[in-house]
Structure 1
Amino acid sequence: MNQNSNYGENKAHPSRYMPGLDGLRAIAVIGIIIYHLNKQWLTGGFLGVDTFFVISGYLITSLLLKEYEQTGIINLKNFWIRRIKRLLPAVLVLVSVVTLATLILKPAHIVDIKHDAWAAIFYVSNWWYIASDVNYFEQFAFMPLKHLWSLAIEEQFYIFFPIILITLLLTLKKYRNVALIFWIVSLISLLLMVIISQPNVGHSRVYFGTDTRLQTILLGVLFAFIWPPFKLKKNPAPILKHIIDGIGVFGLLSTCLLFFFVNDNSNWIYNGGFYLISVLALFIILSAVHPTGRFAKALGNPVFVYIGKRSYSLYLWHFPVISFVHSYFVDGQIPFYVYFIDIILTLLLAELSYRYVEQPFRKQGFKAFTFNRFKTKALIRTVVLLIFAVPTLIIFAGAFDSLGKDTTKHKKTTFNTEKADNKIVQPLPIDVSKLTGQKDSNSDTKVYTKIKPLLIGDSVMVDIGENFKTRVPKAKIDGKVGRNLYDVLPDAKSKYGEYNKKDDKVILELGTNGDFNEDQLNKLIGEFGKADIYLVNTRVPRNYESHVNKLMAQAAKKHKNVTLVDWHKRSEGHTEYFASDGIHLQQSGVEALSDEILKQLKDKK
C-alpha cells in the first residue's frame, strides 16, 4: 500500500518523521499477507486495507495543511509529481513482470491479465472489477493483479482530494467548517454502503467502490484537522501521556482481535462496521504520532519500521507471488513448505523493488535512467527496464492474444436445463474404477431414463451439469455461480413447488459460497414436503466448511427423507479432482461427484 515515509518532501519546511506510522503499516501489511496466504489463519486480515486507507487520508491531509499554513496555498503540480514518482514506477514494473510471467507460465490467461494490467496502469482497477463482476473474497480465478483495486482508490483520492481541499480552505477559511463537510461526506459514503449492500449477497460493489470506501479515507482526513501531528506538544502532562498511550494500546489490541475474529462473510461490517473499525485505527494513530509517547516508541521499533518502510513493496508483490505459486497446488491441500516459498519470494522481490525501483526514482526521477556508459548503475537499470518494457508493449499490442481466452466475456456462470436446447445428448462412458482406483461390481455406465431428479446448486453444480445430464437425461438442473443456500429459499415454492411428493428426488448442492444456519437449512428442506432430499456436503478451504458439513450431517439424521451425499469424504486425498482453488472440479472430479450422487440415488431406491 501507499507509503509516505518521506515526510520532509517540502525541503523548505521539513516535517517530523513519525516511525510509529511505519510500525502501524507493518502490522497492517502483515495482516493482509497472512490473510492472502491462507484465509483461515487470519480471517479478518483484509481489514489491514482499511488501516492503510486511514493512514493515507491522515498523513496526506496533515502534509497538505502544513504546506497551506506555511505558504498560503497548495502546489498541486508538485504534489501530483511526488505521488507519481512515489507510486507509479513500482506499479509499472509489477505489471510488466506479471504480464511476462503470465505469457510464459499461464498463456491461457494472457488476455484477462492484459485487461487487468490496463486497469492497473490507469488506476481504475476497482471499477474494472465491479464492471467484470469480480468477487474479492473468492479467489477462485487466477487474478494476480486483483489486489491493485485499493491502490486505484487511493490514487483517485490523490487526484481529486487536493483540489477539493484547497477550494474549501480558500472559500470557507475556517478549519472547523471544512472538517464538518468532510465528516458529512464520510457519513454519506457510509450510508451508500449500507443502502447498496444487502444481507447475504455478494459485497463486491460496496467493497470495491470508491464512493462506498471513501468513508474510511475521510476519517483519516477528518482526524488530521483534529489531531495535527506537527503541532503536538512534546511534553504534555504525565497523566495525559498515560491516557494517550492507553488509547493506542486499546486501539491496537482491539484491531488485532478483529483481525482474528471478523470474517469476510460478516454482514455487519457493511452496516457501519468498517466505519467503527477505522475509528480504532484513529486511536492507534493518535498515540503513534505523539512525539514522546512510549506506545509510539514501541510501535516504531526497528523491525516494524523496516517492514513499514517496505509496506508498499510488500503489498505490491505478495499477491502475484501467492497467485502464481498457489496455482500449481490445490487450495486447502497446499504443503506447508509452499508458504515459505511465498514468503521468501515476496521478501526478495519487495526488497529489489524498494532498492532499485522505488528509491532511485523517488530521489532522482528520470535521471535514474541513462545510456551513459560511465554511470553504471543507471545504465544497468535502463537496460533491465527495456528488457521488460519492450516485450510487455508487444503483449499489450495483442501479439499473443490467440494464446488466451477472454473469460470476462465467455465465463460460464449458470447451467440451467430449462434454458438449454432440447438436443439429445449421447452419454459419455464413465469407468468408475478409474475414479476410485478399484473395481466396483455395482458400477456401470448406465443411463438413467426413468428418474427425474431436481438438482439445485452453485458453481460446483455448474461444473457437473453437462456430465450429469448425460447420465440422467430427464434431470432438471439449476446451477448458478455464487449461489448460497439462503438464495434458494425464495425460489423453492415459486419455481420448484411441484417437487414435494414422496417419489420426487431433490439434490441440493449448496454451501460452497458461505455459511448458513440450522433454521435456514430446515426451512429449505421443509419447502420440498415429502420429497427425498439429498444434501451434498462440501469441500471448500474456508473456515465455514466444518459448520456447513456438520449441519448437513445432523439434518440427515434428523429427517427420514434426507440423505447425505458425502462429497467431502469421497474427495479426500484426491487433489486431481480439483482446480487450484480446491473447490471447482477437473473432469475427474466432475465424474466422481456425479457418480457419488448417483450411488446415493440408487441406494435409496
Structure 2
Amino acid sequence: MPQKQLSTRYMPGLDGLRAIAVVAVIIYHFNPQWLPGGFLGVDTFFVISGYLITSLLLTEYHNTQRIDLISFWMRRLKRLLPAVIFLIMSVLILTLMIVPSEIKAVRGDAFAALFYVSNWWYIFQDVDYFAQFEVAPLKHLWSLAIEEQFYLFFPILLFMLLRYVKRLKPILYTMIGFIVMSIITMGILYEPHGNVARVYFGTDTRLQTMLLGVILAFVWPAFKLRMQTARQPRMIIDGLGVLSLVGLFLCFRFVNESQNALYFGGFGLISLLTLFIIASAVMPSGLFAKGLANPLFLYIGSRSYSLYLWHYPVIVLMHHHFVQGQIPMFVYVIDALLIVIMAEFSYRYVETPFRRSGFKIFDFRHLKQWRLLNVKRAWLMIILLVPSVVILSGVFNGLAKDNTHTTAINTEDMKQYMTVPIPLGDMKIDGLEVKGQTSPYANWKPLLIGDSVMVDIGDAFKEKVANASINGLIGRQLVQAIPLIREDYPDYREKDDMVVLQLGTNGDFTDEQLDTLLDLLGESQIYLVNTSVPRDYQAHVNELLKQAAKNRDNVHLVDWHARSQEHTEYFAPDGIHLEAEGVKALIDEIIQTIKAHQK
C-alpha cells in the first residue's frame, strides 16, 4: 500500500520565534550591557534552521524516496544569495565613503562572505567576535557561512542515512554522536581568558545547535502533527513552550560571553530550551503557537533575514562616529529607523521578488524606460555593481591605515609594552642637576601592571615618572596578573613599594581572585584603577575594586570611571582605548591619587 503523501505548511509560530531571536541579537549589538546574552539569538536561528531544513528534506524523501540535492541547493541560493550580494555591494561603497581607511579589511571580508567562508576567514584572522565595535560591518555574516556549509553537506549525509541505514534509532544515535563530538571539540579548543574565535566561529564547534534541531525534526515531525490535539497534551506542550521561552529570556538577560560554562556544553544546554519552544510553536492547534503568531511578531519574523543582514552594518558604520558607552539615545533611534528601512527595502524589492521570479526581476533591455520597476532594479544593480567590482579589484587598498598599535611591540603572538627604571649609569650629571631626575616624581619607582589601556599610557607615563616599571599587555585579564607578579615581581611586598594595577577591561573576575592578587603584593601601597568599558561586567568589576580599597588600608582606588564620564574626547570609538586627552587625564588621575595617599 503506497504511503500517504505529506504536504508542507506555513508555520507562523516559527516566524514569531525568529522575531524574538533577531530582536535579541539587534539589542545586543546596540549595546551589550542592555542584553548581555542577546548573542544567543544566533543559536536560536541555528536550531530553527536545523529543524526546518530537516523537516523539508524528510518530507521530500517520504514522498519521493529521494532528495533532489541540486534543486535543494538552488532553492537555498535563490533564497539567501541575492540579499547578501545587495548588502555586500552596499557596504563596500558605504565603507569607502564613510571609513576609507578600513576598505582593505572590508574588501577581504567581502570575498569571504561571497563564498560563505566568513567564519573560517575570521578564525584565520584571529578576529574577536565580541570586540564588536571595530569597523568590520560584515563580521555578522559568519553565522550565514556556517548555515550554508551545513546546507551543503548535511543533505548528502541525511540522504545516505535514510537510504542505507533506514532505521530511526541508529540515525538518531549518529546525530547524537556528532553533537557530543562538537561539544567536546569546543571544550578542548576553548582557552579561558583568551580569544574565542576558533570555538565561536568554527563550523565543527557550532554544529551542535543545528543538529539538535535535526533530532527534533525526527521525533517531532512538523508536517505529520495532527491539526487538532487533545486539550491535556496541548496544555502540557503549551506550558513547556512558555516555560522554555521564559528560560531563554533569562539566558538573554544574565548569560554573557565571558562565562566559561558556555564553552563546556552551555551552548547546547541553552539550545535545548529552543527545542521545547519550537515543539510548541509548530503545534497547529496550540495557544502558544497562536501567541507567537501575533501580527507584530509575524512582520518582524518574516523579515528576520533582512533585519539580520542590515542591522550590523548600520550599527557599526553609525557608531563609529561616537564613543561606545556614551552614545546619545537619538543615535539608537536613527539606527533603528535605518535598519527597518533598509531591511524592508531588501525584503520587498530584492529578497522576495528574486525568490519568486529569479533574474526576471531585472530588465537590462529597456534601460531608457526607467519608470518600470524591473528597469529601476537593473539600474540599481549597475550603480552598485560597477564601483563594487572596482573596490574588490583592490584599487582603493592604498587608503587602508596601518592597524599596528604605535605603543606596542610584538612578542610572539601578543602585543606588550614593558619598561624598567632608568639605570643609574645612564644618568648624566650637569653641576648639581641630575638629568632625568628633575621631575617632582623623581623619587617614585612605581610598578604599573595593566592591559591595553596601560599600553596606551606607557610612553606618556614614563615622561612624567621616569623610574616607573611598566608592564602592559593587550587582552590581559586580572587572573593572568597573578602568575606574572608571583614569578616576575616577587620583591614588591614592602611598605615603601608602590604598585598600580589597571585590570578589568577585558573581563570579570571574582573577589577571591582579586584577594589572591593583592595578597601577593603584601604591604605595598596598591592603587587599583577601575574601569570605563561598555560591557555588562563593568559595574561588578568596579564594585569589587571599590570594596577592596575600603577593606584594606594599603589599597587605594583610582576612580577613572568617574573621571572619564561625559568626556567623549578621552576615548577612541570603542569607548575603551584612549585618545591623547584621555591619556593625559588617566595619568593625571593616577598621579593625583598617589599624591593624595603618600605618607
Whether TM-score is above 0.5 comes out as yes
One-letter amino acid of the counterpart of residue 393, structure 1: V
Q: CA deviation at 1:282?
A: 0.7
After superposition, the CA RMSD in angstroms is 2.4
1:391 aligns with 2:384: no
What is the CA–CA distance in structure 2 between the aligned matches of 1:425 and 1:159, rounded to whole Å? 65
- Runs (5+) with no aligned partner, structure 1: 1-11, 427-443
Corresponding residue for 1:417?
Answer: 418
* Alpha-carbon contact 1:458-1:509 (below 8 Å) kept: yes
1:356 aligns with 2:346: no
Corresponding residue for 1:122?
Answer: 115
One-letter amino acid of the counterpart of residue 399, structure 2: L
Task: Report matched runs for 1:106-505 at 5 Å.
Answer: 106-373=99-366, 376-405=372-401, 407=403, 412=408, 414-417=415-418, 446=439, 448-505=441-498
What is the CA–CA distance in structure 2 between the aligned matches of 1:264 and 1:421, rounded to whole Å? 41
Aligned pair in 2 of structure 1 residues 420, 378: CA closer, same or farther (>3 Å)?
farther
Corresponding residue for 1:514?
Answer: 507
Q: CA deviation at 1:574?
A: 1.1
What is the CA–CA distance in structure 2 between the aligned matches of 1:219 and 1:445, rounded to whole Å? 68
One-letter amino acid of the counterpart of residue 387, structure 1: I
1:562 aligns with 2:555: yes
Aligned pair in 2 of structure 1 residues 114, 597: CA closer, same or farther (>3 Å)?
same
Q: CA deviation at 1:13?
A: 7.2
CA deviations over 1:261-307 (Å, ceiling 9, x no partner):
22222222222221111111110111111121121112112221111
What is the CA–CA distance in structure 2 between the aligned matches of 1:215 and 1:238, rounded to whole Å? 33
Corresponding residue for 1:432?
Answer: none
Q: CA deviation at 1:419?
A: 10
Q: CA deviation at 1:453?
A: 2.0
What is the CA–CA distance in structure 1 between the aligned matches of 2:407 and 2:391, rounded to whole Å? 22
What is the CA–CA distance in structure 2 between the aligned matches of 1:22 and 1:102, rounded to whole Å? 32
- Pairing partner for 2:8 from 15, 18, 40: 15
What is the CA–CA distance in structure 2 between the aligned matches of 1:215 and 1:419, rounded to whole Å? 49
- Runs (5+) with no aligned partner, structure 2: 409-413, 428-436
Aligned pair in 2 of structure 1 residues 491, 347: CA closer, same or farther (>3 Å)?
same
Q: Greater CA deviation, 57-66 or 264-273?
A: 264-273
What is the CA–CA distance in structure 2 between the aligned matches of 1:419 and 1:74, rounded to whole Å? 68
What is the CA–CA distance in structure 2 between the aligned matches of 1:50 and 1:78, rounded to whole Å? 27
* Alpha-carbon contact 2:529-2:559 (below 8 Å) kept: yes
What is the CA–CA distance in structure 2 between the aligned matches of 1:367 and 1:530, rounded to whole Å? 78
One-letter amino acid of the counterpart of residue 126, structure 2: D
Q: CA deviation at 1:496?
A: 1.6
| TM-score, length of structure 1 as denominator length | 0.91
* Alpha-carbon contact 1:112-1:406 (below 8 Å) kept: no
Task: Report matched runs for 1:525-536 at 5 Å.
Answer: 525-536=518-529
* Alpha-carbon contact 2:61-2:67 (below 8 Å) kept: yes
* Alpha-carbon contact 1:447-1:470 (below 8 Å) kept: no
Aligned pair in 2 of structure 1 residues 408, 188: CA closer, same or farther (>3 Å)?
farther
1:575 aligns with 2:568: yes
Corresponding residue for 2:430?
Answer: none
Q: CA deviation at 1:555?
A: 1.6
Aligned pair in 2 of structure 1 residues 16, 320: CA closer, same or farther (>3 Å)?
same
1:41 aligns with 2:34: yes
Secondary structure of residue in 2 paired with 1:308: helix
What is the CA–CA distance in structure 2 between the aligned matches of 1:140 and 1:484, rounded to whole Å? 19
Corresponding residue for 2:434?
Answer: none
Corresponding residue for 1:98?
Answer: 91
1:68 aligns with 2:69: no
| TM-score, length of structure 2 as denominator length | 0.91
What is the CA–CA distance in structure 2 between the aligned matches of 1:411 and 1:109, rounded to whole Å? 20
Q: Greater CA deviation, 407-416 or 333-342?
A: 407-416
Q: CA deviation at 1:410?
A: 9.1
What is the CA–CA distance in structure 1 between the aligned matches of 2:442 and 2:65, rounded to whole Å? 82
* Alpha-carbon contact 1:331-1:582 (below 8 Å) kept: yes
What is the CA–CA distance in structure 2 between the aligned matches of 1:411 and 1:207, rounded to whole Å? 29
Q: CA deviation at 1:421?
A: 13
Corresponding residue for 1:4?
Answer: none
- Pairing partner for 2:546 from 553, 557, 573: 553
Q: CA deviation at 1:475?
A: 2.3
CA deviations over 1:552-584 (Å, ceiling 9, x no partner):
122222222222211112212211001122111
What is the CA–CA distance in structure 2 between the aligned matches of 1:445 and 1:152, rounded to whole Å? 60
CA deviations over 1:434-475 (Å, ceiling 9, x no partner):
xxxxxxxxxx99484443322111111111122222323332
* Alpha-carbon contact 2:29-2:132 (below 8 Å) kept: no
